[in-house]
Structures are given as structure tokens and as C-alpha cells.
Amino acid sequence: MTANTTESILKDVQDTHGAAYAAAAIVAINGGFIEGEEASISRQVGLLVMHLSDVIRALTIESATGVTSNAMQELAAHLEACGSAIHEGAAVAKIYDREQVLNAICNAEIAGNALAWLAGMSKVKADAAALAAALSGEEPDFAKFV
């Protein structure tokens, strides 16, 4: 994909949906994903599940009710395995309730943004860095925003 095409798509998507959505679109396009294609949607579900696993792996759980870090780490391992299988095409994820999926995605984004804010992380700056990285192909340095 040429820089002009990427920048054109970025501008169109950013104008209609915002910067974070534009960054996601560019990353998806650069990763070979195609909007509306069932295989691309399934692969993206796999990535979403794998990223949830990453969040769980970065936590320590303390509980008097029996929920333990070990149990959460086991859950993370299962999520990683399922997400990886879906992302690699060994399994297929299909959306059967679009409204429920959209609601969950929105709620997860709100919860993630709230978690970042509560923990003193600069999500806005991290999103901007992710957008710049999407265009450059480099990984953002999230350590600057925590």
C-alpha cells in the first residue's frame, strides 16, 4: 500500500470515525484484512481475544473468595490458545448477534479507557502514538505513557 493511499484512507476514516478508528483501519489494511470479509473478521476476533489475554497476564489478582492469579493465568493461556487458533485460521469465529457484539466492543473500550485513566495512564497520547505507528509501521513506545 502506498503512503498516498494509506494517508487518503486515514483521512477519510478519521474524518468520519475519529483518529483511533482510523488507526485501527490502517493497521487492519496493512495486515491484509479486508473490510466486510468473513475471514478478516474472524482473524480480528482472534486478535481481540489474544489482547484480552495480554491484559489478564499483566495483572496480579488478590482475593479472599478464591479467585487467584494462577486461575487467571490459566484463563489467559486458554484465551491465548483460542485467539491464536482463530487468528491463524485453524478455527473460525462468526458474528451471530451484531448488536450484542457491538455493545460488548463499546463497553470494553469504555472500560479500558476508564482503567487507563484510573491507573494514571495517558490513553490519549498512547492512541496518538498508535496512530503514528500505524502509518510508519513502527511499534509505539507505550512505556512513555504509563
CB 13 within 8 A of CB 131: no
Domain parsing of the chain, residue ranges? 38-94
Classify residue 46 as exposed, middle or buried by CB count within 10 Å of its CB (0-12, 13-18, 19+): buried
pLDDT beyond 80 at 6: no
pLDDT at 45: 95
Tell me the average pLDDT across 58-62: 86
Question: Residues 63-72: pLDDT tens digits?
Answer: 887 777 788 8
Whether 89 shows a pLDDT value over 50: the answer reads yes
CA angle 80, 125, 144 (to 5 degrees): 75
pLDDT tens readout for residues 10-39: 667 666 666 667 767 777 777 788 888 999
